[in-house]
C-alpha cells in the first residue's frame, strides 16, 4: 500500500494525518471552533475515519436528537451489534409473526416476563422486530421503576427506549403513536422459581387493558420462550435484597458464586412469536372504567400467551442445544 | 366599563418587575400597584409602590384600600435573596401567602388571584411519571424543605379557593427558569467552567426560557383558569446533552458527595447554595405536562426545552467564570501551540 491511496484504507497514513492536523489548524486560525474545524478537516482522511470524526464531533457538541423520554436513536443503533450478537449467536432466536405488529400508529405489545437477574426479553423482542419486520421501528418498553434509581443503568435504559412503568407514561407514549411493550406480570414474572417457568403469573390489575382501551391501541400478545433459562432462579437472598433495595435478588447456578462471571446469561434457545393482534377499537374509551370488561380482556390476552408459550416450547425442543 | 385594577406582590423580584413592565403597556389596566419590602431595582412608569411586608397583618388594611380586582402573587422565593436569608424562606413563602389570602378575604372588589408557585411540589423521583399532570401533586412523599413549603401554601390556597367559589384562583407551577439575564443559583451552576454532576445519573430536565416565564405569567393574568397549571416548555433534555450544548465539561462526583462539594467550591465561585430540590432534580430529573397551559390558558411556549438551552448557550458562551475547559477549547490551544 502506498501513501497515495490513503483515501481507501481503514487507517490513515502519516501524510493524511499530517494533512488533517494542518487543515484543522487552518480552520481554527480562521475563526472556526475546534470541533467544527476537525469536522471539516476530516475530509482528507479515509472515508470511515472521517465519518467517525464527524460523528464524534457532533455528539460532543450535543447535536443529536433525543425525544422527550430521553430515547436516543443513534445510541440505540450503536449498541445494536452487541444485542445482535446475543440475538443471532448466543440465543439463536427464531422470530415469527412480526407482520402482526402494525407498521404505523400506536400498538401495545404484551409479553410474558422472565429472566430473574436481568430480563433480556424487551431487548430481544426489539431485535426481533428490527430484524424481521418489513417496516421496522424502535419500540418503547415499560421498565420496572426501581431500575431508574440505579446509576448508569437508568440512563442507558432511557436512551434505548425504556420508560418507567406507569399507566400515565404508557398512555402518553401511546398517544404519540408509538409502539409500546409492556410486561404485565412485572416482578412476579421475573422473580418466579425455575420450577415455575413458563407459567404465567397474574397480569397485575389489568392496567395494560385500561391503557389500551383509553388510547384505542390494539394489543399484540407476544410469547417469548427461552428467557426463563438464561438465569435459572433457584432461590433468593433476602439480605442482599434488603441491602440494595431491589425487589428481590435471585440466586442462580452461577450468581453470585462466580462474581461478575455469574452475570453471563446461559445460552438457551429462544423463540419469539407475535400473535394476532386484538383490536379494541369497537369499545369506546369509557369502557376502560368497566372492571368486568378489563378483567375479561386481560384474561383473554393471558390465556392466548400461555397457549402460545406451550406451542413454542414444543416447537423449540431442547432448551440449550 | 372601567379598566382593571391589578396588585402585584413581590414587585421587587425579577418576575414581579417583568410582569409590571408588561402590564403597564396594557391599556385595559386602569390601575397598577406593587407591594414589596424594598423598591424595585428599575423605575416603573405608572405602578404605585406600596412598601409593606407580606408577613405583617398590616396587609389586610393595605390591600382592600387598593380596590384591586386582580392580585398576582410573585412573592414566593425559590432561593434566598439579599435581605431575605434562607432561614426566612419558610416564613416568607408560607406565612406571607397566608397573610395575603387573609387580606384577599377582606377585599370586596376582588375577582381573581394568580399565584406564581413552583413545580417543586411534585418532587423528583426515579419512579415518578415522566410528565406530571396537575392532579398528581401531593401523591408522592414530601422530601425537601421547599417542597413541603410549597405543598403547605398550596393547601391554604386551595382551601381559600373552595371557600370563595366566586373567585378565579389560579396556581401556576413553574419549572426552573433559564436565561442569560437571570441570576439564580441554578443558572450560575450551569455557567461554571466545569459543571459537577452526580456520577451515573443523567436526569431529564425542563428549563423554562425567561421570555416564556414572563409570557405565561402575563397570559395567566389575562385569562386565569381555576386550579393548578403547570408552566413548562415542551419536551425535555438530558443533563449530559444540555452541558454539551453549553460547551461545559461535566465532572462526575458520587452523589453523596455532590452537595458538600458544591457547597465548598460553589460558594467560592459564586454559585451559592443549591436547594435540596435542585440537588434531587439534578439526580432524578423532573418533567411536567404543559397541556393545560397551552389549551386552557392559551399560551404556547415559544422555546421548547432544547431551544431554551440553545438560546442560553448563544448568549452566555462569551461570558463565563474561569477558563475554557471544554474539550473543544483544549484542542484549540494545542492547535495554536505550533506557531
Instruction: Report the pLDDT value the prediction gives residue B24, as an integer from 0 to 100.
Output: 93
- Classify residue A30 as exposed, middle or buried by CB count within 10 Å of its CB (0-12, 13-18, 19+): exposed
- What's the pLDDT band for A2 if we cut at 50, 70, 90? very low
* Model confidence band, residue A3 (pLDDT cutoffs 50, 70, 90): very low
* Interface residue B295 vs chain A (CB under 8 A): no
The closest alpha carbon to B197, from B264, B124, B257, B122, belongs to: B257
> The C-alpha cell of A161 is what?
427506549
| Model confidence pLDDT, tens digit, residues A213-224 | 999 999 999 999
> What's A147's DSSP letter?
G
Dist CA B319 CA B307 (whole Å): 19
Stretch among A131-135, A230-234, B38-42, B333-337 having the lowest mean pLDDT: B333-337
Mean pLDDT by groups of 10 residues along chain B of 339 residues: 86 93 92 92 89 89 92 90 80 93 93 95 88 89 89 95 95 95 89 90 96 96 95 96 91 92 79 81 94 96 96 79 57 46
Q: What is the mean pLDDT of residues A56-79?
A: 90
Average pLDDT over residues A108-135: 92
Question: Are residues B80 and B16 in contact, defined by beta-carbon separation less than 8 angstroms?
Answer: no
CB B98 within 8 A of CB B153: yes
Given a contact cutoff of 8 angstroms between Cβ atoms, the answer to whether B324 and B193 are in contact is: yes
> From A157, which residue of chain B is nearest by alpha-carbon distance?
B202
Distance separating alpha carbons of residues A121 and B106, to the nearest angstrom:
63
pLDDT at B329: 52
DSSP H or E segment with residue B218 = helix B210-222
Residues of chain B found within 8 Å of residue A30, distances taken between Cβ atoms: none
| Among B130, B136, B200, beta carbon nearest to A164 | B130
| Beta carbons of B328 and A168 less than 8 Å apart | no
Nearest-5° Cα angle at B233, B231 to B235: 130
Q: Which residues contact A78 (CB under 8 A, 6 or more apart)?
A: none
Q: Exposure of B321 by Cβ count < 10 A (0-12 exposed, 13-18 middle, 19+ buried)?
A: exposed
pTM of structure: 0.87
pLDDT value for A5: 43
Cα separation, A291 vs B42, whole angstroms? 60
Q: Model confidence over B263-279: pLDDT tens digits?
A: 887 777 777 777 788 99
Please spell the DSSP secondary structure of A211-257, one letter per residue. HHHHHTPPEEEEEEESGGGSS---EE-HHHHHHHT-S--EE-SSTTT
**How many percent of chain A have pLDDT more than 70?**
96
| A11 pLDDT higher than 70 | no
Task: Give the Cα-Cα-Cα angle B242, B247, B251 (nearest 5 degrees).
Answer: 75
Contact A38 B331 (CB under 8 A): yes
B328 touching A (Cβ < 8 Å):
yes
CB A33 within 8 A of CB B213: no
Q: How far is A132 from chain B (nearest CA, A)?
A: 31
Contact indicator for B166, B172 with CB cutoff of 8 Å: no
Contact B255 A149 (CB under 8 A): no
Quick one: pLDDT at residue B312?
94
Q: Nearest CA of chain B to the CA of A182: how many Å?
A: 16
B325 touches chain A (CB under 8 A): no
Count the neighbouring beta carbons within 10 Å of the beta carbon of residue B196.
Answer: 20
In chain B, residues with a C-beta closer than 8 Å to the C-beta of A161 are none
C-alpha distance from A34 to closest chain B C-alpha (Å): 5
Grid cell in block for residue B1 = 366599563
Smallest Cα–Cα separation from A91: which of A256, A236, A225?
A225
Lowest mean pLDDT among A136-145, A226-235, A292-301, B137-146: B137-146
Q: Which residues of B114-144 are buried (b: 16+ CB within 10 A; e: fewer)?
A: bbbbbbbbbbbbbebbbbbbbebbeebeeeb
Lowest mean pLDDT among A249-258, A312-321, B321-330: B321-330
For residue B297, give the DSSP letter. I
* A112 grid coordinates: 410474558
For cell 409590571, what's the residue?
B20
B128 near A CB under 8 A: yes
- Of B128, B327, B336, nearest to A60 by CB-CB distance is B327
Classified as helix, coil or strand, B88 is helix
Say if residues B161 and B114 touch (Cβ distance below 8 Å). Answer: no
State how far residue A140 is from chain B, nearest Cα, in angstroms: 14
Residue B305 and residue B233 in contact, taking contact as beta carbons nearer than 8 Å: yes
Is residue B48 classed as helix, strand or coil in its secondary structure?
Answer: strand
DSSP for B112-139, please give it.
Answer: EEEEEEEGGGG---TTS-SSB-GGGTTS
Rounded percentage of chain A residues whose pLDDT exceeds 90? 57
Amino acid at each position: 500500500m502506498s501513501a497515495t491511496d490513503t483515501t481507501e484504507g481503514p487507517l490513515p497514513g502519516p501524510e493524511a494525518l499530517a494533512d488533517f492536523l494542518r487543515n484543522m489548524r487552518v480552520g481554527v486560525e480562521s475563526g472556526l471552533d475546534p470541533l467544527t474545524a476537525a469536522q471539516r478537516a476530516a475530509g482528507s482522511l479515509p472515508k470511515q475515519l472521517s465519518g467517525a470524526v464527524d460523528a464524534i464531533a457532533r455528539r460532543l457538541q450535543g447535536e443529536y436528537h433525543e425525544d422527550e423520554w430521553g430515547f436516543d436513536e443513534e445510541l440505540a443503533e450503536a449498541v445494536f451489534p452487541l444485542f445482535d450478537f446475543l440475538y443471532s449467536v448466543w440465543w439463536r432466536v427464531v422470530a415469527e409473526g412480526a407482520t402482526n405488529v402494525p407498521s404505523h400508529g400506536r400498538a401495545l405489545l404484551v409479553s410474558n416476563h422472565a429472566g430473574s437477574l436481568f430480563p433480556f426479553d424487551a431487548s430481544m423482542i426489539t431485535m426481533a422486530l428490527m430484524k424481521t419486520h418489513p417496516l421496522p421501528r424502535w419500540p418503547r418498553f415499560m421498565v420496572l421503576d426501581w431500575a431508574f434509581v440505579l446509576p448508569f443503568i437508568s440512563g442507558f435504559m432511557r436512551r434505548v427506549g425504556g420508560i418507567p412503568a406507569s399507566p400515565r407514561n404508557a398512555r402518553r407514549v401511546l398517544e404519540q403513536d408509538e409502539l409500546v411493550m409492556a410486561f404485565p406480570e412485572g416482578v412476579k414474572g421475573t422473580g418466579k422459581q425455575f420450577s415455575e417457568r413458563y407459567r404465567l403469573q397474574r397480569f397485575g390489575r389489568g392496567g395494560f387493558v385500561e391503557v389500551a382501551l383509553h388510547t384505542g391501541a390494539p394489543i399484540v400478545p407476544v410469547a417469548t420462550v427461552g428467557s426463563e433459562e438464561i438465569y435459572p432462579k433457584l432461590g433468593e437472598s433476602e439480605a442482599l435484597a434488603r441491602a440494595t433495595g431491589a425487589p428481590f435478588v435471585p440466586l442462580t447456578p452461577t450468581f453470585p458464586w462466580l462474581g461478575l462471571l455469574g452475570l453471563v446469561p446461559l445460552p438457551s434457545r429462544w423463540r419469539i412469536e407475535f400473535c394476532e393482534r386484538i383490536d379494541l377499537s369497537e369499545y369506546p374509551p369509557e369502557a376502560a372504567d368497566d372492571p368486568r370488561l378489563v378483567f375479561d380482556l386481560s384474561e383473554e390476552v393471558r390465556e392466548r400467551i400461555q397457549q402460545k408459550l406451550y406451542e413454542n416450547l414444543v416447537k423449540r425442543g431442547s432448551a440449550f442445544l | 366599563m372601567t379598566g382593571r385594577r391589578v396588585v402585584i406582590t413581590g414587585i421587587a423580584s425579577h418576575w414581579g418587575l417583568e410582569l409590571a413592565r408588561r402590564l403597564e403597556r396594557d391599556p385595559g389596566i386602569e390601575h397598577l400597584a406593587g407591594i414589596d419590602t424594598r423598591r424595585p431595582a428599575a423605575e416603573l412608569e405608572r405602578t404605585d409602590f406600596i412598601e409593606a411586608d407580606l408577613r405583617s397583618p398590616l396587609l389586610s388594611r393595605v390591600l382592600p384600600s387598593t380596590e384591586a380586582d386582580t392580585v398576582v402573587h410573585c412573592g414566593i422565593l425559590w432561593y434566598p435573596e439579599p435581605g431575605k436569608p434562607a432561614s426566612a424562606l419558610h416564613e416568607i413563602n408560607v406565612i406571607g401567602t397566608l397573610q395575603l389570602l387573609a387580606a384577599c378575604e377582606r377585599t370586596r372588589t376582588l375577582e381573581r388571584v394568580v399565584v406564581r408557585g413552583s413545580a417543586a411540589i411534585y418532587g423528583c423521583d426515579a419512579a415518578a411519571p415522566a410528565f406530571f399532570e396537575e392532579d398528581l401533586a401531593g401523591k408522592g412523599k414530601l422530601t425537601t424543605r421547599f417542597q413541603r413549603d410549597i405543598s403547605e401554601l398550596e393547601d391554604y390556597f386551595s382551601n381559600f379557593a373552595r371557600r370563595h367559589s366566586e373567585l378565579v384562583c389560579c396556581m401556576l407551577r413553574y419549572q426552573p427558569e433559564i436565561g442569560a439575564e437571570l441570576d439564580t443559583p441554578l443558572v450560575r451552576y450551569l455557567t461554571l467552567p466545569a459543571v459537577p454532576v452526580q456520577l451515573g445519573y443523567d436526569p431529564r430536565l425542563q428549563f423554562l426560557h425567561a421570555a416564556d416565564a414572563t409570557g405565561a405569567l402575563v397570559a395567566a393574568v389575562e385569562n386565569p383558569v381555576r386550579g393548578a397549571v403547570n408552566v413548562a416548555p415542551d419536551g425535555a433534555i438530558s443533563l449530559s446533552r444540555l452541558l454539551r450544548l453549553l460547551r461545559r465539561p461535566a465532572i462526575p462526583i458520587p452523589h453523596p458527595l455532590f452537595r458538600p462539594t458544591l457547597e465548598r467550591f460553589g460558594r467560592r465561585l459564586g454559585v451559592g447554595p443549591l436547594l435540596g430540590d435542585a440537588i434531587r432534580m439534578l439526580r432524578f430529573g423532573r418533567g411536567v405536562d404543559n397541556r393545560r397551559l397551552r389549551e386552557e390558558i392559551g399560551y404556547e411556549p415559544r422555546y421548547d426545552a432544547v431551544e431554551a438551552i440553545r438560546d442560553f448557550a448563544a448568549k452566555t458562551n462569551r461570558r463565563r467564570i474561569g477558563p475554557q475547559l471544554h474539550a473543544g477549547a483544549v484542542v484549540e490551544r494545542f492547535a495554536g501551540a505550533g506557531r
